[in-house]
Amino acid sequence: MKAKSVALTGLLIALALILSYLESLVPLSFAIPGIKLGLPNLVIVFALYRLRPGIAAAISLLRVALVALLFGSALSLAYSAAGAVCSFLVMVLLKKSGRFGCTGVSVAGAVTHNLAQIATAALLLETSALAWYFPVLCVSGTAAGVCIGLLSALLVQRIPEGKK
């Protein structure tokens, strides 16, 4: 990996970490627990469109690990990692299909992230009673995914593609 690519990857990891922290300061969960803006996903979607998928995956996983280490717990790592891995796989597949732009990819990633987190909670807590909550998270994930997707599309249009 060239020095420029390493530096860009490091900057994007730092940006995703900062956005995670900023997101934790915005209390959206006061009305409905678990709702987030998905600000770090802005970096992931951008990286998916402007860098290699492996680099975007590394950014996503390192961000999840660093956030859990700095601000979370083993339990938060389990939920975040499940959501990040599942949503990233879906986003990569949809992007590769060529049928979806940044917004569609972002919405699918947000909804998949919520689904994976509900499934992880159901497994860890050994109950399916949490399934009722998925439609609520689906609506919020769709709204957040649209916002993040539109912002990602704008960034992808305005920032030139790096060497792959």
Q: Quick check: 112 and 86 in contact, CB under 8 A? A: yes
By percentage, how much of the chain surpasses pLDDT 90? 70
* Dihedral, CA of residue 124, residue 59, residue 66 and residue 126, to nearest 10: 0
Domain spans of the chain?
3-158
Domain 3-158, CATH 3.30.70.2190 — does that match?
A: no
pLDDT at 11: 96
Q: Quick check: 82 and 120 in contact, CB under 8 A? A: yes
Question: Could you read off the pLDDT of 91-118 as tens digits, one per residue?
Answer: 999 999 999 999 999 999 999 999 999 9
Q: How confident is the model at residue 128 (pLDDT cuts 50, 70, 90)?
A: confident
pLDDT at 31: 64
Q: With a threshold of 0.75, does the pTM exceed it?
A: yes
Q: Say how far apart CA 129 and CA 119 lie, in whole Å.
A: 11
Q: Say how far apart CA 147 and CA 130 lie, in whole Å.
A: 26
Mind spelling out the 3-state secondary structure of 104-152?
Answer: HHHHHHHHHHHHHHHHHHHHHHCCCHHHHHHHHHHHHHHHHHHHHHHHH
| pLDDT at residue 29 tops 90 | no
